Structure 1
Protein backbone atom coordinates (compact mmCIF):
# COMPACT_ATOMS: atom_id res chain seq x y z
CA UNK A 1 0.00 0.00 0.00
CA UNK A 2 2.78 2.46 0.94
CA UNK A 3 4.58 1.83 -2.36
CA UNK A 4 1.40 2.33 -4.37
CA UNK A 5 0.60 5.61 -2.63
CA UNK A 6 4.11 6.94 -3.17
CA UNK A 7 3.91 6.09 -6.84
CA UNK A 8 0.59 7.84 -7.19
CA UNK A 9 1.82 10.89 -5.35
CA UNK A 10 4.48 11.30 -7.93
CA UNK A 11 2.10 10.68 -10.85
CA UNK A 12 -16.65 21.09 3.62
CA UNK A 13 -15.26 24.21 5.14
CA UNK A 14 -14.61 26.20 2.02
CA UNK A 15 -16.50 29.42 1.78
CA UNK A 16 -17.86 30.15 -1.68
CA UNK A 17 -16.42 33.46 -2.92
CA UNK A 18 -18.22 35.93 -5.06
CA UNK A 19 -18.38 34.76 -8.65
CA UNK A 20 -15.73 36.43 -10.78
CA UNK A 21 -15.37 36.64 -14.53
CA UNK A 22 -14.22 33.57 -16.51
CA UNK A 23 -10.59 32.73 -15.81
CA UNK A 24 -9.52 33.13 -19.43
CA UNK A 25 -10.32 36.86 -19.20
CA UNK A 26 -8.88 37.53 -15.76
CA UNK A 27 -5.43 38.94 -15.28
CA UNK A 28 -5.56 38.35 -11.52
CA UNK A 29 -7.71 36.11 -9.33
CA UNK A 30 -7.44 36.37 -5.54
CA UNK A 31 -8.54 34.06 -2.75
CA UNK A 32 -10.08 31.31 -4.87
CA UNK A 33 -10.86 28.00 -3.05
CA UNK A 34 -9.06 25.11 -4.70
CA UNK A 35 -7.34 21.74 -4.41
CA UNK A 36 -4.14 20.44 -5.97
CA UNK A 37 -4.98 17.55 -8.29
CA UNK A 38 -1.48 16.84 -9.52
CA UNK A 39 1.90 18.54 -9.79
CA UNK A 40 5.14 17.84 -11.57
CA UNK A 41 8.58 19.49 -11.81
CA UNK A 42 9.12 22.47 -14.09
CA UNK A 43 12.65 23.67 -14.77
CA UNK A 44 15.00 23.46 -11.78
CA UNK A 45 13.05 24.97 -8.92
CA UNK A 46 9.43 25.28 -10.03
CA UNK A 47 6.31 23.14 -10.36
CA UNK A 48 3.40 22.96 -12.74
CA UNK A 49 0.27 22.42 -10.69
CA UNK A 50 -3.08 21.15 -11.90
CA UNK A 51 -5.60 22.85 -9.61
CA UNK A 52 -9.34 22.30 -9.27
CA UNK A 53 -10.98 25.56 -8.22
CA UNK A 54 -14.55 26.34 -7.31
CA UNK A 55 -15.35 29.11 -9.78
CA UNK A 56 -12.73 28.62 -12.48
CA UNK A 57 -12.67 24.84 -12.83
CA UNK A 58 -9.46 22.99 -13.59
CA UNK A 59 -6.55 25.32 -14.29
CA UNK A 60 -2.81 24.97 -14.84
CA UNK A 61 -0.50 27.06 -12.67
CA UNK A 62 3.24 27.62 -12.63
CA UNK A 63 4.48 27.72 -9.03
CA UNK A 64 7.79 29.52 -9.40
CA UNK A 65 10.47 28.49 -6.93
CA UNK A 66 8.15 26.05 -5.14
CA UNK A 67 10.90 23.39 -4.99
CA UNK A 68 13.34 25.67 -3.21
CA UNK A 69 14.07 24.46 0.37
CA UNK A 70 12.76 27.64 2.00
CA UNK A 71 9.84 28.34 -0.33
CA UNK A 72 6.61 29.02 1.54
CA UNK A 73 4.77 27.05 -1.14
CA UNK A 74 6.86 23.92 -0.66
CA UNK A 75 4.74 22.46 2.12
CA UNK A 76 1.43 23.98 1.03
CA UNK A 77 0.87 22.53 -2.44
CA UNK A 78 -0.29 19.13 -1.23
CA UNK A 79 -3.19 17.05 -2.56
CA UNK A 80 -6.48 16.87 -0.61
CA UNK A 81 -5.68 20.04 1.36
CA UNK A 82 -8.21 22.90 1.09
CA UNK A 83 -6.42 26.00 -0.18
CA UNK A 84 -7.15 29.62 -0.93
CA UNK A 85 -5.21 30.38 -4.09
CA UNK A 86 -4.32 33.49 -6.06
CA UNK A 87 -2.87 33.69 -9.55
CA UNK A 88 -2.30 36.03 -12.46
CA UNK A 89 -2.15 35.75 -16.23
CA UNK A 90 -4.51 34.80 -19.04
CA UNK A 91 -2.50 32.15 -20.91
CA UNK A 92 -3.25 28.46 -20.55
CA UNK A 93 -0.66 28.29 -17.76
CA UNK A 94 -1.07 31.10 -15.22
CA UNK A 95 1.39 32.12 -12.54
CA UNK A 96 0.61 31.15 -8.97
CA UNK A 97 0.88 34.20 -6.71
CA UNK A 98 -0.04 32.69 -3.37
CA UNK A 99 -1.60 29.63 -1.75
CA UNK A 100 -2.76 29.38 1.84
CA UNK A 101 -3.90 26.28 3.72
CA UNK A 102 -7.50 26.61 4.92
CA UNK A 103 -8.03 23.40 6.87
CA UNK A 104 -11.31 21.80 7.83
CA UNK A 105 -10.85 18.34 6.29
CA UNK A 106 -9.44 15.24 7.92
CA UNK A 107 -6.45 13.68 6.14
CA UNK A 108 -7.06 10.69 3.88
CA UNK A 109 -5.39 7.46 4.91
CA UNK A 110 -4.89 3.96 3.51
CA UNK A 111 -7.63 2.97 1.04
CA UNK A 112 -9.31 6.38 1.34
CA UNK A 113 -6.07 7.95 0.12
CA UNK A 114 -6.02 5.74 -2.97
CA UNK A 115 -9.65 6.65 -3.61
CA UNK A 116 -8.70 10.32 -3.41
CA UNK A 117 -6.02 9.86 -6.07
CA UNK A 118 -8.64 8.10 -8.20
CA UNK A 119 -10.95 11.13 -7.93
CA UNK A 120 -8.09 13.43 -8.93
CA UNK A 121 -7.21 11.31 -11.93
CA UNK A 122 -10.84 11.38 -13.10
CA UNK A 123 -10.94 15.17 -12.82
CA UNK A 124 -7.67 15.65 -14.69
CA UNK A 125 -8.76 13.37 -17.54
CA UNK A 126 -12.44 14.23 -17.85
CA UNK A 127 -12.77 17.92 -16.91
CA UNK A 128 -11.57 20.42 -19.49
CA UNK A 129 -9.43 23.30 -18.34
CA UNK A 130 -11.18 26.63 -17.71
CA UNK A 131 -14.61 24.99 -17.54
CA UNK A 132 -16.20 26.04 -14.22
CA UNK A 133 -18.10 23.37 -12.27
CA UNK A 134 -18.94 24.83 -8.84
CA UNK A 135 -21.47 22.07 -8.07
CA UNK A 136 -18.90 19.40 -8.92
CA UNK A 137 -16.33 21.20 -6.75
CA UNK A 138 -18.72 21.08 -3.81
CA UNK A 139 -19.38 17.39 -4.50
CA UNK A 140 -15.62 16.76 -4.56
CA UNK A 141 -15.24 18.39 -1.13
CA UNK A 142 -18.14 16.33 0.22
CA UNK A 143 -16.66 13.14 -1.25
CA UNK A 144 -13.26 13.74 0.35
CA UNK A 145 -15.00 14.36 3.66
CA UNK A 146 -16.99 11.13 3.40
CA UNK A 147 -13.89 9.11 2.53
CA UNK A 148 -11.98 10.65 5.42
CA UNK A 149 -14.79 9.64 7.81
CA UNK A 150 -14.79 6.03 6.62
CA UNK A 151 -17.95 6.01 4.51
CA UNK A 152 -18.14 2.93 2.21
CA UNK A 153 -15.82 3.65 -0.69
CA UNK A 154 -17.79 1.62 -3.25
CA UNK A 155 -20.85 3.84 -2.63
CA UNK A 156 -19.02 7.16 -2.29
CA UNK A 157 -17.12 6.61 -5.55
CA UNK A 158 -20.22 5.61 -7.52
CA UNK A 159 -22.00 8.79 -6.46
CA UNK A 160 -19.02 10.93 -7.47
CA UNK A 161 -18.59 9.17 -10.82
CA UNK A 162 -22.24 9.76 -11.63
CA UNK A 163 -22.04 13.41 -10.52
CA UNK A 164 -18.95 13.90 -12.69
CA UNK A 165 -20.68 12.61 -15.81
CA UNK A 166 -23.75 14.73 -15.06
CA UNK A 167 -21.78 17.92 -14.49
CA UNK A 168 -19.73 17.45 -17.65
CA UNK A 169 -22.89 16.91 -19.68
CA UNK A 170 -22.44 13.30 -20.77
CA UNK A 171 -24.73 11.44 -18.35
CA UNK A 172 -27.96 10.06 -19.79
CA UNK A 173 -31.26 9.91 -17.92
CA UNK A 174 -31.37 6.43 -16.39
CA UNK A 175 -35.11 6.50 -15.70
CA UNK A 176 -36.36 6.39 -19.30
CA UNK A 177 -35.80 3.91 -22.14
CA UNK A 178 -34.33 5.63 -25.17
CA UNK A 179 -35.88 3.29 -27.74
CA UNK A 180 -39.48 3.51 -26.47
CA UNK A 181 -39.41 6.64 -24.25
CA UNK A 182 -41.25 4.53 -21.68
CA UNK A 183 -40.18 4.65 -18.03
CA UNK A 184 -37.56 2.09 -17.06
CA UNK A 185 -39.26 -0.96 -15.53
CA UNK A 186 -37.66 -2.26 -12.32
CA UNK A 187 -38.06 -5.92 -13.29
CA UNK A 188 -36.59 -5.63 -16.80
CA UNK A 189 -32.97 -5.85 -17.92
CA UNK A 190 -31.24 -3.07 -19.85
CA UNK A 191 -27.97 -1.98 -21.37
CA UNK A 192 -26.91 1.67 -21.35
CA UNK A 193 -25.74 3.29 -24.57
CA UNK A 194 -23.04 5.77 -23.44
CA UNK A 195 -24.31 8.37 -25.91
CA UNK A 196 -28.06 7.86 -25.56
CA UNK A 197 -29.08 6.00 -22.42
CA UNK A 198 -30.87 2.78 -21.43
CA UNK A 199 -32.48 0.36 -23.88
CA UNK A 200 -33.80 -3.19 -23.37
CA UNK A 201 -31.05 -5.79 -23.28
CA UNK A 202 -30.93 -8.13 -26.27
CA UNK A 203 -29.22 -11.42 -26.99
CA UNK A 204 -25.68 -10.79 -28.16
CA UNK A 205 -25.22 -7.48 -26.32
CA UNK A 206 -21.63 -7.06 -25.16
CA UNK A 207 -22.42 -4.15 -22.87
CA UNK A 208 -23.07 -4.67 -19.12
CA UNK A 209 -26.60 -5.87 -18.39
CA UNK A 210 -28.30 -3.92 -15.62
CA UNK A 211 -31.64 -4.39 -13.90
CA UNK A 212 -34.12 -1.55 -14.21
CA UNK A 213 -34.28 -1.30 -10.42
CA UNK A 214 -30.55 -0.66 -10.37
CA UNK A 215 -30.85 2.19 -12.87
CA UNK A 216 -33.65 3.74 -10.84
CA UNK A 217 -31.67 3.35 -7.64
CA UNK A 218 -28.62 5.01 -9.20
CA UNK A 219 -30.70 7.96 -10.33
CA UNK A 220 -32.00 8.25 -6.76
CA UNK A 221 -28.46 7.83 -5.30
CA UNK A 222 -29.62 4.77 -3.35
CA UNK A 223 -26.84 2.19 -3.33
CA UNK A 224 -27.97 0.20 -0.30
CA UNK A 225 -28.74 -3.03 -2.19
CA UNK A 226 -25.82 -5.37 -2.90
CA UNK A 227 -27.07 -5.92 -6.47
CA UNK A 228 -27.08 -2.18 -7.06
CA UNK A 229 -23.50 -1.88 -5.84
CA UNK A 230 -22.28 -4.70 -8.05
CA UNK A 231 -24.17 -3.75 -11.22
CA UNK A 232 -23.45 -0.02 -10.88
CA UNK A 233 -19.73 -0.79 -10.53
CA UNK A 234 -19.68 -2.63 -13.85
CA UNK A 235 -21.84 -0.02 -15.55
CA UNK A 236 -19.80 2.96 -14.40
CA UNK A 237 -16.57 1.22 -15.35
CA UNK A 238 -17.98 0.76 -18.86
CA UNK A 239 -19.31 4.33 -19.18
CA UNK A 240 -16.13 5.95 -17.90
CA UNK A 241 -13.99 3.86 -20.26
CA UNK A 242 -16.09 5.11 -23.17
CA UNK A 243 -15.82 8.77 -22.21
CA UNK A 244 -12.09 8.41 -21.53
CA UNK A 245 -11.65 7.20 -25.09
CA UNK A 246 -9.58 4.23 -24.01
CA UNK A 247 -7.19 6.18 -21.78
CA UNK A 248 -6.27 3.98 -18.80
CA UNK A 249 -6.97 4.93 -15.20
CA UNK A 250 -3.90 3.88 -13.24
CA UNK A 251 -5.49 4.39 -9.83
CA UNK A 252 -8.53 2.28 -10.68
CA UNK A 253 -6.37 -0.73 -11.49
CA UNK A 254 -4.65 -0.44 -8.12
CA UNK A 255 -8.04 -0.19 -6.39
CA UNK A 256 -9.31 -3.22 -8.31
CA UNK A 257 -6.24 -5.21 -7.31
CA UNK A 258 -6.62 -4.22 -3.66
CA UNK A 259 -10.35 -4.30 -2.96
CA UNK A 260 -12.35 -4.83 -6.14
CA UNK A 261 -13.84 -1.32 -6.19
Structure 2
Protein backbone atom coordinates (compact mmCIF):
# COMPACT_ATOMS: atom_id res chain seq x y z
CA UNK A 1 0.00 0.00 0.00
CA UNK A 2 1.03 3.63 -0.41
CA UNK A 3 2.50 5.65 2.43
CA UNK A 4 -0.01 7.45 4.62
CA UNK A 5 0.40 10.26 7.14
CA UNK A 6 0.23 8.98 10.73
CA UNK A 7 0.97 9.45 14.43
CA UNK A 8 1.92 6.78 16.94
CA UNK A 9 -0.63 6.69 19.76
CA UNK A 10 0.84 3.87 21.83
CA UNK A 11 3.40 1.08 21.52
CA UNK A 12 4.36 -1.86 23.68
CA UNK A 13 6.74 -4.85 23.45
CA UNK A 14 5.58 -7.88 21.48
CA UNK A 15 7.40 -11.21 21.61
CA UNK A 16 11.20 -11.02 21.78
CA UNK A 17 12.11 -8.21 19.40
CA UNK A 18 8.90 -6.72 17.99
CA UNK A 19 6.37 -4.12 19.12
CA UNK A 20 2.62 -3.70 18.89
CA UNK A 21 1.86 -0.19 17.72
CA UNK A 22 -1.44 1.73 17.64
CA UNK A 23 -1.39 4.55 15.10
CA UNK A 24 -3.78 7.25 13.96
CA UNK A 25 -3.66 7.67 10.20
CA UNK A 26 -5.15 10.34 8.00
CA UNK A 27 -6.56 7.92 5.43
CA UNK A 28 -7.43 4.77 7.38
CA UNK A 29 -8.29 5.90 10.90
CA UNK A 30 -6.84 3.90 13.78
CA UNK A 31 -4.65 0.96 12.82
CA UNK A 32 -3.01 -1.67 15.02
CA UNK A 33 0.17 -3.10 13.57
CA UNK A 34 3.14 -5.29 14.37
CA UNK A 35 6.55 -3.69 13.96
CA UNK A 36 8.73 -6.76 13.52
CA UNK A 37 12.26 -6.67 14.92
CA UNK A 38 11.75 -3.07 15.95
CA UNK A 39 13.58 -3.34 19.24
CA UNK A 40 16.67 -4.72 17.46
CA UNK A 41 16.96 -1.74 15.14
CA UNK A 42 17.76 1.29 17.22
CA UNK A 43 17.70 3.74 14.34
CA UNK A 44 14.28 2.57 13.16
CA UNK A 45 12.95 2.38 16.71
CA UNK A 46 13.71 6.06 17.26
CA UNK A 47 10.98 6.91 14.72
CA UNK A 48 8.31 5.15 16.77
CA UNK A 49 7.69 8.08 19.08
CA UNK A 50 4.47 9.73 20.11
CA UNK A 51 3.71 13.24 18.79
CA UNK A 52 5.99 12.57 15.78
CA UNK A 53 4.44 13.10 12.32
CA UNK A 54 5.24 10.03 10.21
CA UNK A 55 4.75 8.41 6.86
CA UNK A 56 4.13 4.67 7.04
CA UNK A 57 2.73 1.68 5.18
CA UNK A 58 1.81 -1.90 6.09
CA UNK A 59 0.70 -5.19 4.61
CA UNK A 60 -1.76 -7.86 5.64
CA UNK A 61 -5.46 -8.02 6.42
CA UNK A 62 -7.63 -8.12 9.52
CA UNK A 63 -7.40 -6.17 12.74
CA UNK A 64 -3.62 -6.62 13.10
CA UNK A 65 -1.35 -5.80 10.16
CA UNK A 66 2.42 -5.65 9.72
CA UNK A 67 4.46 -2.47 9.38
CA UNK A 68 6.41 -2.45 6.11
CA UNK A 69 7.87 1.07 5.92
CA UNK A 70 8.22 4.08 8.18
CA UNK A 71 9.86 7.49 7.79
CA UNK A 72 9.77 10.80 9.62
CA UNK A 73 7.58 13.47 8.03
CA UNK A 74 8.13 16.65 10.07
CA UNK A 75 9.80 17.58 13.38
CA UNK A 76 8.10 16.15 16.42
CA UNK A 77 5.67 18.30 18.42
CA UNK A 78 7.51 19.32 21.56
CA UNK A 79 5.14 18.96 24.51
CA UNK A 80 6.55 19.73 27.93
CA UNK A 81 5.17 19.10 31.42
CA UNK A 82 1.39 19.23 31.64
CA UNK A 83 1.16 19.58 27.86
CA UNK A 84 2.78 16.16 27.50
CA UNK A 85 0.20 14.63 29.87
CA UNK A 86 -2.56 16.28 27.84
CA UNK A 87 -1.13 14.64 24.73
CA UNK A 88 -1.04 11.24 26.45
CA UNK A 89 -4.67 11.74 27.48
CA UNK A 90 -5.72 12.46 23.89
CA UNK A 91 -3.80 9.41 22.67
CA UNK A 92 -5.52 7.18 25.20
CA UNK A 93 -8.95 8.49 24.24
CA UNK A 94 -8.25 7.72 20.59
CA UNK A 95 -7.03 4.19 21.33
CA UNK A 96 -10.07 3.39 23.47
CA UNK A 97 -12.82 5.14 21.52
CA UNK A 98 -11.86 4.93 17.84
CA UNK A 99 -12.86 1.79 15.92
CA UNK A 100 -10.22 0.13 13.75
CA UNK A 101 -9.82 0.86 10.05
CA UNK A 102 -12.49 3.54 9.75
CA UNK A 103 -11.24 6.69 8.04
CA UNK A 104 -11.73 9.74 10.26
CA UNK A 105 -9.83 12.62 8.57
CA UNK A 106 -11.65 15.19 10.71
CA UNK A 107 -10.41 13.52 13.89
CA UNK A 108 -6.89 13.38 12.47
CA UNK A 109 -7.07 17.12 11.76
CA UNK A 110 -8.48 17.88 15.22
CA UNK A 111 -5.63 15.88 16.77
CA UNK A 112 -2.96 17.78 14.83
CA UNK A 113 -4.56 21.10 15.76
CA UNK A 114 -4.64 20.11 19.43
CA UNK A 115 -0.95 19.09 19.37
CA UNK A 116 -0.08 22.42 17.77
CA UNK A 117 -2.03 24.32 20.44
CA UNK A 118 -0.32 22.39 23.23
CA UNK A 119 3.10 23.04 21.72
CA UNK A 120 2.31 26.76 21.51
CA UNK A 121 1.37 26.66 25.21
CA UNK A 122 -2.22 27.70 24.57
CA UNK A 123 -4.75 27.16 27.36
CA UNK A 124 -4.55 23.40 27.94
CA UNK A 125 -8.07 23.10 29.33
CA UNK A 126 -9.61 24.80 26.32
CA UNK A 127 -7.52 22.64 23.98
CA UNK A 128 -8.68 19.42 25.65
CA UNK A 129 -12.35 20.40 25.83
CA UNK A 130 -12.46 21.34 22.15
CA UNK A 131 -10.66 18.14 21.19
CA UNK A 132 -13.08 16.05 23.25
CA UNK A 133 -16.02 17.84 21.66
CA UNK A 134 -14.68 17.28 18.14
CA UNK A 135 -13.90 13.63 18.85
CA UNK A 136 -17.37 12.89 20.19
CA UNK A 137 -18.99 14.72 17.29
CA UNK A 138 -17.10 12.81 14.61
CA UNK A 139 -17.80 9.50 16.38
CA UNK A 140 -21.52 10.24 16.16
CA UNK A 141 -21.90 11.24 19.81
CA UNK A 142 -22.30 14.96 19.22
CA UNK A 143 -23.21 17.05 22.26
CA UNK A 144 -26.64 18.69 22.50
CA UNK A 145 -25.88 22.11 23.96
CA UNK A 146 -28.66 24.49 23.00
CA UNK A 147 -32.01 22.95 24.07
CA UNK A 148 -33.39 21.54 27.33
CA UNK A 149 -34.34 17.97 26.41
CA UNK A 150 -37.33 17.94 28.80
CA UNK A 151 -39.01 21.23 27.96
CA UNK A 152 -37.68 21.84 24.46
CA UNK A 153 -36.83 25.39 25.50
CA UNK A 154 -33.58 27.11 24.68
CA UNK A 155 -30.80 26.82 27.25
CA UNK A 156 -30.72 29.89 29.51
CA UNK A 157 -27.48 31.34 30.81
CA UNK A 158 -28.74 31.60 34.39
CA UNK A 159 -30.19 28.08 34.42
CA UNK A 160 -28.46 25.06 35.97
CA UNK A 161 -28.49 21.73 34.16
CA UNK A 162 -27.52 18.09 34.51
CA UNK A 163 -26.07 16.75 31.28
CA UNK A 164 -27.18 13.22 30.37
CA UNK A 165 -24.83 11.69 27.78
CA UNK A 166 -27.59 9.71 26.08
CA UNK A 167 -29.95 12.66 25.67
CA UNK A 168 -28.60 16.08 26.65
CA UNK A 169 -29.08 18.79 29.30
CA UNK A 170 -32.00 18.77 31.73
CA UNK A 171 -32.67 21.81 33.88
CA UNK A 172 -32.66 21.37 37.65
CA UNK A 173 -34.26 23.65 40.22
CA UNK A 174 -33.99 24.18 43.94
CA UNK A 175 -31.08 22.66 45.83
CA UNK A 176 -27.73 22.79 44.03
CA UNK A 177 -26.77 19.32 42.86
CA UNK A 178 -23.31 17.97 42.16
CA UNK A 179 -22.08 17.88 38.57
CA UNK A 180 -24.40 20.64 37.42
CA UNK A 181 -23.39 22.92 34.58
CA UNK A 182 -24.74 26.39 33.95
CA UNK A 183 -26.44 27.39 30.74
CA UNK A 184 -23.74 30.01 30.41
CA UNK A 185 -21.04 27.31 30.38
CA UNK A 186 -23.00 25.24 27.85
CA UNK A 187 -23.16 28.32 25.61
CA UNK A 188 -19.42 28.84 25.91
CA UNK A 189 -18.80 25.25 24.80
CA UNK A 190 -21.34 25.47 21.98
CA UNK A 191 -19.84 28.71 20.64
CA UNK A 192 -16.26 27.67 21.53
CA UNK A 193 -15.65 31.14 22.91
CA UNK A 194 -15.69 33.30 26.07
CA UNK A 195 -14.33 30.54 28.32
CA UNK A 196 -13.31 31.53 31.85
CA UNK A 197 -12.22 29.65 34.97
CA UNK A 198 -15.82 29.01 36.09
CA UNK A 199 -17.10 27.70 32.78
CA UNK A 200 -13.97 25.61 32.17
CA UNK A 201 -14.33 23.95 35.57
CA UNK A 202 -18.00 23.12 34.97
CA UNK A 203 -17.36 21.90 31.44
CA UNK A 204 -14.47 19.73 32.61
CA UNK A 205 -16.72 17.87 35.07
CA UNK A 206 -19.46 17.53 32.47
CA UNK A 207 -17.11 16.19 29.81
CA UNK A 208 -15.58 13.72 32.24
CA UNK A 209 -19.04 12.28 32.87
CA UNK A 210 -19.77 12.08 29.14
CA UNK A 211 -16.41 10.50 28.30
CA UNK A 212 -16.82 7.95 31.11
CA UNK A 213 -20.21 7.01 29.69
CA UNK A 214 -18.78 6.17 26.29
CA UNK A 215 -15.76 4.42 27.80
CA UNK A 216 -18.16 2.01 29.46
CA UNK A 217 -16.25 1.87 32.73
CA UNK A 218 -12.77 1.46 31.26
CA UNK A 219 -10.28 3.54 33.24
CA UNK A 220 -7.96 6.14 31.73
CA UNK A 221 -4.41 5.72 32.99
CA UNK A 222 -3.49 9.24 31.88
CA UNK A 223 -5.96 10.60 34.43
CA UNK A 224 -4.03 8.78 37.13
CA UNK A 225 -0.86 10.51 35.92
CA UNK A 226 -2.62 13.88 36.16
CA UNK A 227 -3.80 13.07 39.68
CA UNK A 228 -0.33 11.97 40.74
CA UNK A 229 1.26 15.13 39.35
CA UNK A 230 -1.29 17.36 41.07
CA UNK A 231 -0.72 15.55 44.37
CA UNK A 232 3.06 15.94 44.03
CA UNK A 233 2.71 19.63 43.16
CA UNK A 234 0.47 20.21 46.20
CA UNK A 235 2.98 18.57 48.53
CA UNK A 236 5.94 20.53 47.20
CA UNK A 237 4.26 23.95 47.23
Deviations 1:210-241 (A, max 9, x none): 11111111011125222111100111111111
1:68 deviates by: 0.6
What is residue 134 of structure 1 aligned with on the other side?
105
After TM superposition, list the pairs within 5 Å mapping 1:37-186 onto structure 2: 37-70=9-42, 72-186=43-157
RMSD of equivalent CA atoms: 1.8
Asked if structure 2 preserves the Cα contact closer than 8 Å seen for 1:172 and 1:195, the reply is: no
Q: Which has the higher helix share?
A: 2
Bigger shift: residues 221-230 or 234-243: 221-230
Taking a change above 3 Å as real, the CA distance of residues 223 and 251 of structure 1, as seen in their structure-2 partners, is: farther
Deviations 1:150-189 (A, max 9, x none): 1111111111111111111112321111112221111111
What is residue 191 of structure 2 aligned with on the other side?
220
Long gaps (5+) in structure 1? 1-28
Is residue 207 of structure 2 the alignment partner of residue 236 of structure 1?
Answer: yes
1:245 deviates by: 1.1
Long gaps (5+) in structure 2? 232-237
Asked if structure 2 preserves the Cα contact closer than 8 Å seen for 1:146 and 1:156, the reply is: yes
Of the candidates 151, 159, 165, which is equivalent to residue 188 of structure 1? 159
Deviations 1:56-102 (A, max 9, x none): 111111111111145x4211111110001111112111111111111
1 CA distance for matches of 2:8 and 2:24? 6
TM-score by length of 2: 0.91
TM-score by length of 1: 0.83
2 CA distance for matches of 1:40 and 1:69? 15
SS in 1 for 2:213: helix
